[in-house]
A and B are shown apart, each in its own frame.
Chain A
Amino acid sequence: MKDFSLLFTALCKQSFRFDRSKQTGKTKWYIFAVYGLLVLVCLPLLGLVAYLIYQLGALAASADAVPGFLTCIFSAIQLVVLLFGIATVLNTIYFSKDNEMLLSYPVKPQTVFAVKLTFAYVLELITNFVLSLFAVIPFAIGAGMPFSLGLVFSFFLVPVLPLLIATILAIPLMYVISYLKNKSVVSTVALLVLVTLLFVAYFLVINSISMAEESTDIEGIILAMVGQINAIADIMLPNKFLALSMVGGPFGTALLNFLYAFLIDAALVAFACLISALVYKRSVSRQLETPKSSAAKKQKYETGGKISMFIRKDFKEIIRYPALAFYCLFEIIIGPVVMLVLGLNLGGMVTADIEEIGMSFAELMAQMPHIVALVLICFITFFVFATNYTATTAFTRENRNFYILKIIPMSYGKIIDAKAILSFIVNEIGVVLMVALALALIKVPLLSALITLVVCTVIGLVFSYAQVYMDLRNPRLNWDNISTGLKNNYASLFSLLLSFALIVVLIGLYWLFSLAGIEIMMYIYFVVVALLSAVAAVYARKVAVKNAAAMIENITL
Chain B
Amino acid sequence: MLQLENLSKTYAKGKVKAVDGINLRVNDGEIFGFLGPNGAGKSTTIKMMTGILQPDEGNIVLNGVNLRAEPYVFKHNIGYVPDNHAAYDKLTGMEYLNFMGSMYDVPSASLKERAQEFIEKFGLAGAINDQIKSYSHGMKQKLVVIGSLLHQPKLWILDEPLTGLDPQSAYELKTYMREHADNGHTVFFSSHVIDVVEKVCDRVGIIKNGKLIAVGTVDELKDRAGESLEEFFLSVTAGENIGG
Contacts and interface: CB of A to CB of B under 8 A. Distances in A.
A406 B51 contact: yes
A249 interface: no
B103 A291 contact: no
Contacts of B38: none
Given A301-B108, A553-B54, A291 B91 contact: no
A316 B90 contact: yes
Contacts, number: 109
B54 A554 contact: yes
Interface string B105-129: 1111001100110010000001111
A6 interface: no
B126 A316 contact: no
B87 interface: yes
A214 interface: no
B34 interface: no
A27 interface: no
B90 A317 contact: yes
B76 A409 contact: yes
B130 interface: yes
Size category of the B interface is: 35 or more
Contact of A409 (B72, B82, B98, B115): B72
B80 interface: yes
B194 to A, nearest CB: 27
Contacts of B171: none
Given A299-B116, A316-B95, A309 B90 contact: no
Query: DSSP majority for the A interface?
Result: loop
A309 B102 CA distance: 7
B75 interface: yes
A320 B90 CA distance: 6
B63 interface: no
A553 B111 CA distance: 29
Contact of B115 (A297, A301, A316): A301
Interface stretch (A62-70, A201-209, A374-382, A396-404): A396-404
Nearest to A291: B134
Interface in A283-306: 290-293, 296-297, 299-306
Given A290-B133, A403-B52, A299 B102 contact: no
A291 B115 CA distance: 23
Given A297-B129, A313-B88, A408-B75, A303 B52 contact: no
A182 B94 CA distance: 15
Contacts of B99: 309-310, 312-313
Contacts of B128: 299
A306 B102 CA distance: 6
Contact of A407 (B51, B101, B131, B134): B51
B134 A321 contact: no
A410 interface: yes
Contacts of B82: 403
A376 to B, nearest CB: 35
Given A297-B129, A304-B102, A407-B52, A313 B91 contact: yes
Interface string A232-261: 000000000000000000000000000000
A309 to B, nearest CB: 4
Given A291-B134, A301-B108, A401-B87, A406 B102 contact: no
Given A292-B134, A293-B130, A553-B54, A301 B98 contact: yes
A292 B139 CA distance: 13
Contact of A411 (B51, B54, B72, B131): B72
Nearest to B76: A409
A406 B50 contact: yes
A297 B135 CA distance: 17
B50 A292 contact: no
Contacts of A296: 126, 129
A300 B94 contact: yes
Q: Which of A313, A321, A554 has the most CB of B within 10 A?
A: A313
Interface of A: 182, 184, 290-293, 296-297, 299-306, 309-310, 312-313, 316-317, 320-321, 400-401, 403-404, 406-411, 553-554, 556
14 contacts: A184-B90, A290-B133, A290-B135, A291-B134, A296-B126, A301-B111, A306-B103, A309-B99, A313-B99, A320-B90, A403-B82, A404-B87, A407-B50, A410-B103
Interface of B: 50-54, 72-73, 75-76, 78, 80, 82, 84, 86-88, 90-91, 94-95, 97-108, 111-112, 115-116, 119, 126-131, 133-135
